[in-house]
Chain A
Amino acid sequence: MAYPYRHEKEVRLLSEHFGDLEARTVEGWKARGGYEGLARALEIGRERVVEEVKTSGLRGRGGAGFPTGLKWSFMPKDQTRPHYLLCNADESEPGTFKDRELIRWTPHQLLEGCLIGAYAIGASHCYIYLRGEFFEATQVLARALEDAYDANLAGKDVLGSGVDLDVTLHVGAGAYICGEETGLMNSLEGRRGEPRIKPPFPAAVGAFGMPTTINNVETLCAVPGIVKNGGDWYRQWGTEKSPGTKLFCVSGHVNKPGNYELPLGFPLMELIEDVCGGVRDGNALKAVIPGGSSVPIMTAEECSACSLDYEGVVECGSMLGCASVIVMDETADIVKQVRRMAYFYAHESCGQCTPCREGTAWATKILERIEDGRGTEEDLDTLLQIGDQMTGTTICVLSDSLAAPVRSSIEKFRDEYLALIRRGERVGAA
């Protein structure tokens, strides 16, 4: 067993070769069926590649779940200006740790996806924006990219097709907000990673002012298989509206945290109980954050009938996000964790919008006060009010991303807040 995070219920379309060192090399990747998708793409032409991806129903894995084929079809058809593909490898949403694994174990899968994606949208250059902390993974990808150039899989006249496709690795310098698509574009251009107001949308005015598409690492990794096997093939897994497989990043209080690739629509409780070996120490489940720290928190009760697809999680009061399942058992301190999240968003706010800049800092202060036992019940109302003012009022959704866990935790775990507040009152009275 080379890669320890395995379960028989997995459907490993993307993660089959994790832990397999041969898969890092061009020859090894080819021997595993790699680069056939690229060859087929060049053969069938751009429009049909976009059609296959549309047929597959693949949805963006970076969090928003926007249909990838549709996004690609927004790119202008004229070739009078350069077009760009950006690969978002800035993975920094707390709870998410799939892109780094994809990059370091299957670098050619990502490169193949980038090459096909760039070709499909009429771009001749793809930038892969990697977060600066990913030194090890980036070096693996760098070596793979050099090998791909040597094998004429990238560069001029790819595989003798007459098409030029360049890929450049670009490394960030530590800022969560550079994962937001327009923040990433500004950062790539050598600016502060401040998100831009939309419209104009990136397909019209993106990186360097040119038509641009941006996709997550996992999204692009899914593309070679779809192009090679056809869009319908991908639909045999998942649900009608959320087809295919997804890497679920499970962390927190489970016996076997890790990345597990499962069909979308997989039951949440089965993921926790079976695939991840249950809650640690046989403890009771208290709460789950199903999609990374930016989505509403769920109670154990809400989890019981939840299926992990984009629609299913919404029905249960949260969002699938990037499928980063953070599990908390009965020992977890909800207020402390929400306070830690608030601190994160306050730290990472780019500061352009007042509701976000002030709201994240203010919420952090109030939560710290409550945690210290110096809070009052009115503080909870204030937090909810701040949350309202932070929602739907800013350039990007970082602001909403804190409002969601704050609001949901107060609504669903009010008792925990009250216990801290009352404990403080008692201590104060003594």
Chain B
Amino acid sequence: MSDAPFKNPGWAGNTGEFDLTEADVRGTEFVGHRPPEGGHPAAAPSYPYMLADKAPDAPLFEGPYKERLEKIRGRYPNARAVLLPALNLAQEIRGHVSPETMDAVAEELGLASAYVRGVATFYTMYNKRPVGRHLIQVCTNISCNLCGADEVLAAFLEHTGTEMGETSADGNFTVVEAECLAACGFPTCVQINSRYFENVNEADVPQILDRLKSEEGEG
């Protein structure tokens, strides 16, 4: 094995350290297409999708999503426990969880509105307001920070022309700072919607943004 520092292409870069494709490393090939109705009930609560294409006014629990919600219900002893999976699902569909969405979830589960708001606002992954098609979360915690995360964050802000937490004029990007994403050995780690980009340097940023712009759908 060579002593040279190496990169992990768990992100877009084809740095060749794995003899696996990016899809293999991410597991997307193995997983295939995940059905909106949730697949097997055991896995139905496990879809924290962050879709690029959001539908802020779409109905929440209809069609396949209704089916998924019913599967989820069957896995827990009470309705309260369905709350987080239901909020996840709502965010998957609408892209953010507005007060109205929280109320709709409350009604569906028979919980008090105030209670649901109290819970939903506790968790950082629920976007309380709309975000760009691509939500870019740059880890600046210690391991990434030691390896230049602040510069990576600055580069994302610069190249998207945004301020932290604001959405770019074309609606494509929102950049925020994140806490440790559990990929500390591959700094800097950046989560973009549902996907991790690892070993990101300042210089990689324009290329990543170009790639995102050219992609459609899930990502």
A-side residues, CB < 8 A to B, are: 1-7, 19, 21, 24-25, 82, 91-97, 99-100, 104, 130-143, 145-146, 149, 154, 166-176, 187-193, 208, 249-253, 255-259, 277, 280, 289, 293, 324, 326, 328, 332, 336-337, 340-341, 344, 347-348, 350
Contacts of B164 in A (CB 8 A): none
Cα(A362)–Cα(B181), bound, Å: 25
Q: Which of B84, B186, B187 contacts A173 (CB 8 A)?
A: B84
User: How many whole Å from B184's CB to the nearest CB in chain A?
Assistant: 4
Interface size, B (range): 35 or more
Interface of A (DSSP majority class): mixed
For the complex of A and B, 4 pairs with smallest distance between CB atoms: A174-B125, A190-B83, A169-B46, A173-B123
Query: B71 → chain A, closest Cβ, in Å?
Result: 10
The binding surface of chain B is classed by DSSP as: loop
Bound CA–CA A38/B141 (angstroms): 39
| CA A337 to CA B76, docked complex, whole Å | 41
Q: Is the CB–CB distance between B30 and A190 below 8 Å?
A: no
CB distance from A328 to the nearest CB of B (A): 6
* CB–CB B184/A324 < 8 A: yes
- For B46, give its contact among A2, A4, A25, A142 (CB under 8 Å): A142
B128 at the interface (CB under 8 A from A): no
Q: Are B24 and A100 in contact (CB under 8 A)?
A: no
CA distance A332 to B143 in the complex (A): 11
Residues of chain B in range 109-155 having any CB-CB distance to chain A below 8 Å: 111, 118-119, 122-126, 140-143, 145-147
Contact A190 B82 (CB under 8 A): yes
13 A-B residue pairs with CB within 8 Å: A2-B18, A97-B184, A146-B39, A169-B42, A170-B85, A173-B48, A173-B84, A173-B88, A173-B123, A175-B122, A190-B119, A277-B5, A340-B140
B1 surroundings in chain A (CB, below 8 A): 1, 6-7
Find chain B residues with CB under 8 A from A139 CB: 27-28, 31, 34, 46
- The one of A136, A167, A174 in contact with B194, judged by C-beta atoms closer than 8 angstroms, is A136
Chain A residues near B40 (CB, 8 Å)?
Answer: 142, 145-146, 149
- A133-B125, A166-B42 are contacts. A95–B49 as well, Cβ < 8 Å? no
Alpha-carbon separation in the docked complex, A293 to B144 (Å): 13
A252 to B148, CA, bound (A): 10
Once A139-B31, A328-B146 are accepted as A-B contacts, the answer to whether A132 and B88 lie under 8 Å apart by CB is: yes
Establish whether residues A341 and B142, one from each chain, have CB atoms under 8 Å apart when the complex forms: yes
Q: Across the two chains, which residue of chain A brings its CB closest to B46?
A: A169
Chain A residues within an 8 Å CB radius of B34:
139, 142
- Within 27-46 of B, Cβ neighbours of A (below 8 Å) are at 27-28, 30-32, 34, 39-43, 45-46
Q: Are A258 and B47 in contact (CB under 8 A)?
A: no
How distant is the Cα of A259 from the Cα of B10 in the complex, in angstroms?
14
Q: Mark B168-186, 1 if CB is under 8 A from A, else 0.
A: 0000000000011111111
With a CB–CB cut-off of 8 A, which chain B residues contact A251?
143, 146, 184-185, 187
Is B24's CB under 8 angstroms from A21's CB?
Answer: yes
CA distance A142 to B1 in the complex (A): 34
B184 near A95: Cβ-Cβ < 8 Å: yes
A104 to B30, CA, bound (A): 11
Q: Does B75 have its Cβ within 8 Å of any Cβ on chain A? A: yes
| A192 x B122 contact (CB < 8 A) | yes
- Nearest chain A CB to B28's CB is how many angstroms away? 7
Given contacts A172-B125, A208-B77, 13 further A-B contacts (CB under 8 A): A95-B180, A100-B183, A140-B30, A146-B39, A169-B43, A174-B125, A189-B81, A190-B81, A251-B143, A251-B185, A255-B4, A277-B3, A347-B179
Interface string of B76-114 (1 = CB under 8 A from A): 111111111101100000000000000000000001000
- Most B C-beta atoms less than 10 A away, residue of A92, A169, A193, A348: A169
